Amino acid sequence: MMVEQLPLFPTEEIAQPAEAAPVADANAPLTAHTSLAAAMHPFRDFMQQQGFTQHTIASFLGDMRLVMRRLGRGTALGTVTTKQLQDFLTWLSHGRGVPCSPKSYTRRVTTLKVFFGWLKEVGVLPADPSAPIPQQRADSPLPQILYAAQIEELLTTTRNLMFADKPDARPHLLVSLLLATGIKKQECMGIKLSHIDLSDAAAPAVYIRYDSARYRLKERKLRLPDDFAATLARYQEQYHPRVYLFECTARNLEYVLTDLAKRIGLPEGLSFEMLRWTCAVRDYQGRMDEDLLRQKLGLSPITWQQTGEKLHRLARAPL
């Protein structure tokens, strides 16, 4: 708690630029006795490792400065209680003297859950004091997804394009890849031909890899559509890629999706994010184990908290 895509990640309101993180005890191991202030540097490192955007990191650190203002910078991590966090949120809403919009309030609840959830996950705290606090919903619309009839029409259109007078396999390769894997735009652009495993004709797969060690935890192997090998062969005959699967800009692929949306009359358009959410909802409705789905999407357990809640809401109506 791509992306960038996640996202399946809500776009947080941008706070004022964060001040330098406290450096006191920055290299000391985190324990329940570590102060809130001393935990900020490791928290920032954790968010960077998880791939949070710089805006999100700045926002979350700004929120934690408010927590420290209320509870005290020297407060030990292990002494923070659920009541203190609830009192902090009440202070934000009614006692601070500065308006707190619903969107800001929602993000600040998320900050608490990310911070204390991380501390529990790494074993610093035996329990998460933010867990009993209900996650608030911001007044933002749910992501757009495709419904079953739209998916069928889209795939019919892309297959027809492969056999048109001027055949083009790229639209079907792209759409079928995104619907099957739910990968982000930047992950799609990073796929090399050497990352595609067609050794088992019954189970083609792709490895999602990252050059930066910071994102190695997001690397994973994903199942490809059954017809991917045949589509790829047609695509290679037409486009002759040498290293990367898509040797063009991301904007070029966005144009492909825009053209497809026009062809089938999608008023909301068609995007990487829409196809990612559609894949996630289909898997969710198909009763995929939630932890497997989280790993498929490349999300941390903390980031999954909000994504899973949105998937539940989106999946109430059948695709």
Q: What is the pLDDT of residues 183-222, one digit of tens each?
A: 999 999 999 999 999 999 889 999 999 988 777 888 999 9
244-297 pLDDT tens trace = 999 999 999 999 999 999 999 999 999 999 999 999 999 999 999 999 999 999
Report the sign of the C-alpha dihedral through residues 299, 301, 307, 312, in that order: positive
Cβ–Cβ under 8 Å, residues 88 and 70: yes
49 pLDDT above the threshold of 80: yes
Domains and CATH numbers, the chain: 1-136 (1.10.150.130), 148-314 (1.10.443.10)
Select the more confidently predicted residue: 299 or 316.
Answer: 299
Tokens 């930066």 -> residue: 212
Residue 317's CB is within 10 A of a number of other CB atoms, namely 10
Cβ–Cβ under 8 Å, residues 310 and 142: yes
Q: What is the mean pLDDT of residues 125-141?
A: 81
Q: ∠187-188-190 over CA atoms, to 5°?
A: 65
Local confidence band at 14 (pLDDT 50, 70, 90 cut-offs): very low
Beta-bridged to residue 24, according to DSSP, are: none
For helices 272-285 and 170-181, angle between their N-to-C axes, nearest 10 degrees: 50
Q: In the prediction, which pLDDT does 27 show?
A: 62
22 pLDDT above the threshold of 80: no
160 pLDDT above the threshold of 70: yes
